[in-house]
Amino acid sequence: MADQDPQRPSKQLDAHELTQQFEQLLRTRRLNALTDRGRPRHPAQSSPYPTPTPSRQSSHRGPHPPPRPAQNNAPALPSYSSLRNMPKVPSPPQDDHSLRFRSLLVGLSFKPTHYENPGLLDEALSVIPLDRIYGEAEDESQLLQAKAASIGPNAKPEWGYQDCVIRALLRWFKRIFFSFVNNPPCPVCAAPTVALGMTTPTPEERARSATRVELYRCSAGECRAFERFPRYGDVWTLLQTRRGRCGEWADCFSMLCRAVGGRVRWVWNAEDHVWTEVYSEQQKRWIHVDACEEAWDNPRLYTEGWGKKMSYCIAFSSDGATDVTRRYVRDAGKHGADRNRAPEEVLVWITDEIKKLRRENLSKEDRRRVIYEDHREEKELRGYVVRALAAEIGRINLPGQPPASGEEQKLPERASGTQEWREARGEAGNRSPHNDQPPREGH
C-alpha cells in the first residue's frame, strides 16, 4: 500500500472504492489492448529502442553506455488478462459440438413463445384467485410505500405494485396450487411406489408434449399396480394436473406470471434445472424467481446454497435469448463448471441469432427498448464480476488488521425433493457427497 497522509486517519479497505478501481483498471486495460491491436507494426519498431547507426554523432562519451537493442525481435504475446476483457466477436458454429449446441438452444427458445397464446392466457387467468392475489399485492405495496416514506421524501419503495402481484402469485402457487412429485402414489391403493425406469410415451401423452414417461410399481405386496408419470411439456395440461418437478413448476408458473401481465423469462441450466425470471419495472432489471423453492431475487441460491456447480444459464423470452450465467455464478473458480459445449464467440452468435429471430416483427420503439435493456443488463452482469473480484481482495487480511467481513450470507439448501434425490443431483448443499457428479435424473 502507498504511504498515507499523516494528516488523515488510516481506514480499512472499502468495497465500493475497490469496485470503482477495478472498473477503471478493466477499462484502461481494454483501451490499451485495443490501441495496441490497431497500431501498425514495422520490423524497425519491433524493438523498444532505436537501432543505432554507425556515425560520429552516435558515439557516447557519458558515464553510462547507450542502451543495447533487444536481441529478440519477435513481438511479445499478449497476456491472458488483456485478452480476457476483449470484446467477443460473434462466430457461427462450425464443428459438430457447436452445431448440436445451437440446435438445442434454438429448440429451447420456442418454449416462452407458448406463453403468448391468448387461449392459454385466458385458461391461466381462470384458475388464479385474482381477488386474493391483488388484495395481498395491494397490502404489501402500501406497506413498502409507507416504509419508503419513513426514510425520506425522495426514497422509493423497494418493489412496485406489479412486483408485489408476482410475489403474491408465487406464495399461492407454492403453498396451494402446485405439488411436487417424488414418487407418485399408487393409483389403486395410494401406497408408495418404486421407480422402475423409463417407458415409451403413448400417442395421447406425446400429443401433450410428454417425451419422457417414468414408470413406477406399487410397493404393497398384494397390489403391485403400475403407475405412469408423464413429464408433460404442455402448459394447458399442467393447469389440469397441477403436479410435477422443476420443469413443470417453472413452465406453469411462468405462464401464470405472463397471464397477470408480467414480462417473463424461462431460464435453462445445463446442469438440469430450470426457473423463471420476471422483469421489474421498479428496479429496471430481471428478477430471479424459483417457484419450487418460493425463492425471490436470490440468484446465488443454487451455487452457494445448494452447492451446485453450473456452466450455462440461458434465459429465453419472447424477445430472444441471453446468457445470464454471471448472475448465478459469482465465483467461477469455485462454483463454475466447464463451458465446453461451444466456444464463447459461438454462443454469442447463437444468442444474437435467436434475438434477431424473435425481434424481427417488433416495432422500432420496442426494438429500441429491448436493445437498451440489453445494454443495461450487460452492465449489470459485468458489475457482478467486478464486485466478486473486489470482495475477494477485501477478504485479504493485511498485517495488523482484523479479518475482513465479506458479503457472504448463509443461503438455504434445497427444500423440494427427497434427500436422496437431491444428493443424486448434487443439490443437497456442501454436505452432499455427490455435489461434483452430474445429475442423474431429468428436471
pLDDT in tens, 298-357: 999 999 999 999 999 999 999 999 999 999 999 998 999 999 999 999 999 999 999 999
Cβ proximity of 221 and 101 under 8 Å: no
* Straight-line distance from the first to the last Cα atom of the chain, in angstroms, rounded to the nearest whole number: 50
- Looking at residue 87, the DSSP 8-state letter turns out to be P
Which residue bears the cell 425520506? 152
Catalytic residue status for 16: no
Cα gap 326→383, rounded to integer Å: 9
CB 289 within 8 A of CB 262: no
Between 135 and 64, residue with greater pLDDT = 135
Q: DSSP characters for 220-278?
A: -TTT--EEEEE----HHHHHHH-EESHHHHHHHHHHHHHHTT--EEEEEETTTEEEEEE
- Contact indicator for 291, 170 with CB cutoff of 8 Å: yes
| pLDDT average, residue stretch 199-218 | 96
Q: Catalytic residue, from 114, 163, 186, 273: name it.
A: 273
d(CA 190, CA 179): 16
Which pLDDT band, with edges at 50, 70 and 90, does 390 fall under? confident
Stretch 405-434: mean pLDDT, rounded? 58
Sign of the alpha-carbon torsion through 143, 147, 149, 153: negative
Higher pLDDT, 409 or 354: 354
Cα separation, 438 vs 420, whole angstroms: 15
Question: What does the pLDDT read at residue 30?
Answer: 67
Q: Please, which pLDDT band fits residue 36 given cuts at 50, 70 and 90?
A: low
Q: Decide the pairing of beta strands 226-230 and 295-296.
A: unpaired
pTM: 0.75
Q: Bridge partners of 266?
A: 276, 316
Residue 427's pLDDT is what? Answer: 63
Whether residue 273 lies in the annotated active site = yes
Catalytic residue, chosen from 272, 290, 319, 323, is 290
* pLDDT for 283 beyond 80: yes
Residue 220 pLDDT exceeds 50: yes
What mean pLDDT comes out for the span 216-228?
93
Q: Which of 164, 218, 246, 252 is catalytic?
A: 246
Residue 426 grid cell: 448434487
Place of cell 417425451: 211
Mean pLDDT throughout 222-247? 95
Q: Give the whole-angstrom CA distance, residue 13 versus residue 436.
A: 34
List, for residues 122-152, the tens digit of each pLDDT value.
999 999 999 999 999 999 999 999 999 999 9
Phi, psi of 323 (to 5 degrees): -80, 110
290 as an active site residue: the answer is yes
User: In whole angstroms, how large is the CA radius of gyration of the chain?
Assistant: 28
pLDDT value at position 411? 65
Q: Which residue, 245, 317, 307, is CA-closest to 278?
A: 317
Other CB atoms closer than 10 Å to residue 421's CB: what's the count?
A: 17
Asked whether the predicted pLDDT for residue 178 surpasses 60, the reply is yes
Higher pLDDT, 428 or 205: 205
φ and ψ at residue 264, rounded to 5 degrees:
-125, 155
Higher pLDDT, 217 or 441: 217
